[in-house]
Amino acid sequence: MKNSSAGVKRILVVEDEPRIRQVCQRVLTSQGYQVDFASNGAIAEDILMKKDYDLLLIDIKTPVKNGKEFYRYIKDKYPKLTDRVVFTTGDTISTDTQDFLKKAGRPFLLKPFTPNELQAIVRESLSR
């Protein structure tokens, strides 16, 4: 991973839904963050090799490589980054997702989320 620019917080958003990506882009850039996007975990892995991030906002259900698989990759290759992960999900009904979120112990946002909810969780996560 390469170092990020001093002062500007960088966020990688792993999200396959265009509307959610647009909301994240609008909200996070308006707060002064530099935001990059990946539509799935496989693309996000390539991006992580090139850049350093202050926060990873990861959708649990993406095609090709989902958020759970990507999180396992992070734990293996970049263990210090696990403390910088926030998950998003529209699925809190399945026991598999509930178990994963509990075991990961990371904050998460339920979809659909509001811009204020996004701002709050990002601000709180970056202040840790």
Contacts of 9 (CB under 8 A, 6+ apart): 32, 33, 34, 54, 55, 126
- Fold for 10-126, please state it: Rossmann fold (3.40.50)
**Residue 18 CA: distances (Å) to CA of 29, 37, 38, 49:** 16, 11, 11, 24
Segment 92-119 mean pLDDT: 94
Query: What are the residue boundaries of the structural domains of the chain, listed by start?
Result: 10-126
Peptide linkage before 112 cis (omega within 30 of 0): yes
Distance CA 5, CA 53 (A): 10
| pTM for this model (two decimals) | 0.93
- Scan for tokens 């910088």, then name that residue: 84
pLDDT digits (tens, 9 = 90+) for 17-57: 999 999 999 999 999 999 999 999 999 999 999 999 999 99
